[in-house]
């Protein structure tokens, strides 16, 4: 009886381990933080909803960020002026160059770069 129980437990353990080895990892993958350290960055100001503006950021010619609304602010409206969108895009680029990806922007940072008044 003990031998049968032991074999049963061993089989269950083996099946469980095998099943875990074949589980697909669905964790979203982001580029390595240093991937863009030496990249050439460009930004393009885009039109947003309600006569507002957003931006696209490119690293070595490939779009890496498409931002249509003000980050860190609820809602879908973009920046009131193209200059505000440009200032935020430049700020986000500095964060990406430092290894932060995806970059986040807080309300305090938006005030610091004078996007929120």
CA triple 59-56-36, angle to 5 deg: 20
For the stretch 38-56, pLDDT in tens is 899 999 999 988 899 999 9
Distance between CA atoms of residues 2 and 77, nearest Å: 68
If residue 37 lies in a helix (H) or strand (E), which one and from where to where? none
Rounded Cα distance, 62 and 79, in Å: 23
Q: Render pLDDT for 64-106 as a digit per residue (tens, 0 to 9).
A: 999 999 998 998 899 999 999 999 999 999 999 988 988 999 9
ω before 34 within 30° of 0 (cis)? Answer: no
Q: Where are the domains of the chain?
A: 41-112
Element (H, E) at 87: helix 82-97
Mean pLDDT throughout 52-61? 96
Predicted confidence at residue 11, as pLDDT, reads 55
DSSP reduced 3-state for 38: coil
* pTM to 2 decimal places: 0.70
Cα–Cα distance measured from residue 81 to residue 114, given in angstroms and rounded to the nearest whole number: 12
């Amino acid at each position: 009886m003990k031998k049968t129980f032991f074999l049963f437990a061993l089989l269950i353990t083996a099946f469980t381990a095998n099943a875990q080895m074949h589980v697909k990892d669905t964790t979203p993958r982001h580029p390595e933080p240093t991937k863009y350290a030496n990249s050439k960055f460009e930004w393009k100001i885009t039109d947003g909803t309600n006569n507002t503006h957003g931006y696209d950021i490119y690293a070595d010619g490939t779009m890496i960020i498409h931002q249509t609304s003000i980050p860190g602010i609820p809602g879908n409206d973009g920046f009131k002026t193209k200059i505000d969108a440009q200032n935020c895009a430049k700020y986000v680029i500095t964060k990406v160059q430092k290894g932060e990806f995806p970059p986040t922007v807080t309300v305090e940072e938006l005030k610091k770069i004078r996007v929120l008044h």
